[in-house]
Amino acid sequence: MEKTTENRLKWIECGYSLFASIGPEALNVERLSGLVSLARSSFYYYFGDLVSFEAELLKTHIKHYEKFGELMRDYVEFEQLFSDEIMENKVALAFQRQLLINKSVKRYQECSYKAREFTERKTYELWTKAKNVDSNSEAEWVLFRAIRDYYFVQFGQAGQDPQDVLVLLYSYLGKLKE
């Protein structure tokens, strides 16, 4: 890989992880520079400013969710959402959480929505199938979205792992079936 491409990716990967773990307020050129061990001037060379850098992070996030959608395409059971291939992407899940927490910022809300377009319908389809309920029910759709948002908020609390929260949600789902 060409050095300039490699360095640019370092900035993006570091910024993506930082945004995912702390939120948008963590994006600071000085901090990022220290973490990637590159001069601040290279940041400005690649991105121009923080606004452009953040836009690149949001595009990166949508690409991650597009890959999730591709992974999920052939899923037929809700349990498949617990797969290692999904859980290997915890940073993307944490990034989505930060977007939801900061959804009062229009660009974060829009990015979250665009990202979910790749996964939400399939997840809902698997959810209603597992619960054995009508997928056309408005009440089920509202419940699903509330639980989805609960999931994203919970897994970031007190070091909760996304897999642990999924297990709790799956347990809850089992109780709903009874």
> In tens digits, what is the pLDDT along the chain, a chain of 178 residues?
577 789 999 999 999 999 999 999 999 999 999 999 999 999 999 999 999 999 999 999 999 999 989 988 889 988 787 777 777 788 898 899 899 889 999 999 999 999 999 998 898 898 888 888 888 989 988 888 888 877 777 766 656 665 666 666 666 655 555 4
Reported pTM: 0.84
HEC secondary structure over the chain: CCHHHHHHHHHHHHHHHHHHHCCHHHCCHHHHHHHHCCCHHHHHHHHCCHHHHHHHHHHHHHHHHHHHHHHHCCCCCHHHHHCHHHHCCHHHHHHHHHHHHCCCCHHHHHHHHHHHCCCHHHHHHHHHHHHCCCCCCHHHHHHHHHHHHHHHHHCCHHHCCHHHHHHHHHHHHHHHHC
